[in-house]
Structure 1
Amino acid sequence: MHKTVDSSRVSISQLMQPSHSNFSGKIHGGYILNLMDQIAFACASKHSGAYCVTASVDTVDFINPIEVGDLVTMKASVNYVGRTSMVVGIRVESEHIQSGNKKHCNSSYFTMVAKGENGKSIEVPGLILNDKTEVLRFLKAIKRASTKKSRQQEFNHASFTLENYLEQLKNYRVKIELPTDY
């Protein structure tokens, strides 16, 4: 069975209140992450027809701050499916209600895994890609997974040695003071 990307799209909007703000008066990033996790769950569950859990979150860059009184809208869609997992892309925008000015606040990718009644991972429906943007998002998800796997292999491999990387660190604001028996 396959489902279209459109069939599981989810959008939510919420007015940001003072109780959501941090000490500098901006909306707390943790609050936004909580909302993002909720919409990722809703989108993945809608696609899979099952309870879903967050397996990982890939890159959350807070581009623009969100102000108290802004209307925040989050849009989510399934960008990629594996056997039991889905990558949900989320876009966060804020709108100043009085002026109508909108700004992109962040985008992120949540990997969600579908779970059955017994708590074991279950197979999810395939994905029908029916426009160029959907194909591009699927390909980007494959590339992100490949890059992550390469990075893990590079740094977790048995042949990894610090000596191969210490020269690169000279260009950074770091002082290396390793014991002689590291």
Structure 2
Amino acid sequence: MEKSKSVSSSQVVMTQLVLPSHTNALDTVFGGTVMSWIDISAAIAAQRHAGKNVVTASIDRLSFIAPIKKGWVVNLKASVNFASRTSMEVGVRVDAENPNTSEMFHTASAYLTFVAIGSDGKPSPIPAIVPEDDTEKRRFDAAIRRRQARLNDKAST
């Protein structure tokens, strides 16, 4: 197993077209559909980083910022922000594009935690993450704070 990996080595850009089957009575995409796309893009990034199967352990925060309309293009960007021994945080940003005007809208953001699973079905060690630029370092530091908050919450229950 590699000792560490760069953030860029596992980044994901996923694109979806909002079809009528994805929308509600307001002709905007169902929140659950966006959640599914977020989970898929984050899982791909986590699996690329770990080099093995992963499972979603939690969605730390999911914020819907603006609606996404039928016919729009949705771009999801997922990056591993932090990796501990067997788990990692993945951040996902969701932007929507109106194809008629080329306007871009930030529509959702989320943080998810994944655990790598070995062939024995148990949590398995993963490489560390190496932030390389200021943005990656900022995300890394913020992910450490969120992880500590999750651990504190878990200890108090």
- What TM-score does the superposition give when structure 2 sets the normalisation length? 0.94
| Paired position in structure 1 for 2:136 | 134
In structure 1, C-alpha distance between the alignment counterparts of 2:154 and 2:116, rounded to whole Å: 24
2:136 paired with 1:125: no
The 1:153–1:2 alpha-carbon spacing in structure 2 relative to 1, beyond 3 Å, is closer
The residue identity in structure 2 corresponding to 1:23 is: A
Superposition RMSD in Å:
1.2
Greater RCO (CA < 8 Å, at least 6 residues apart): 2
| Paired position in structure 1 for 2:104 | 102
Q: Percent identity?
A: 39
The residue identity in structure 2 corresponding to 1:10 is: V
| Paired position in structure 2 for 1:144 | 146
In structure 2, C-alpha distance between the alignment counterparts of 1:92 and 1:139, rounded to whole Å: 21
| Paired position in structure 1 for 2:39 | 37
Q: Which runs of 4+ in 1 moved over 3 A?
A: 148-154
Structure with more strand by fraction: 2
Instruction: Note the alpha carbon deviations across 1:25-80, whole angstroms, 9 max, x for none.
Output: 21000001111111111000001100000000011111000000010000001000
Return the match for 1:28 from 20, 27, 30: 30
The residue identity in structure 2 corresponding to 1:58 is: D
- What TM-score does the superposition give when structure 1 sets the normalisation length? 0.82
Displacement after TM superposition at 1:24 (Å): 2.3
The residue identity in structure 1 corresponding to 2:88 is: M
What 5-or-longer segments of structure 2 have no aligned partner? none
After TM superposition, list the pairs within 5 Å mapping 1:17-96 onto structure 2: 17-96=19-98
| Paired position in structure 1 for 2:10 | 8
SS of aligned partner of 1:142: helix
What 5-or-longer segments of structure 1 have no aligned partner? 157-182
Displacement after TM superposition at 1:128 (Å): 1.4
The total of aligned residue pairs comes to 155
Displacement after TM superposition at 1:151 (Å): 4.2
In structure 2, C-alpha distance between the alignment counterparts of 1:131 and 1:61, rounded to whole Å: 25
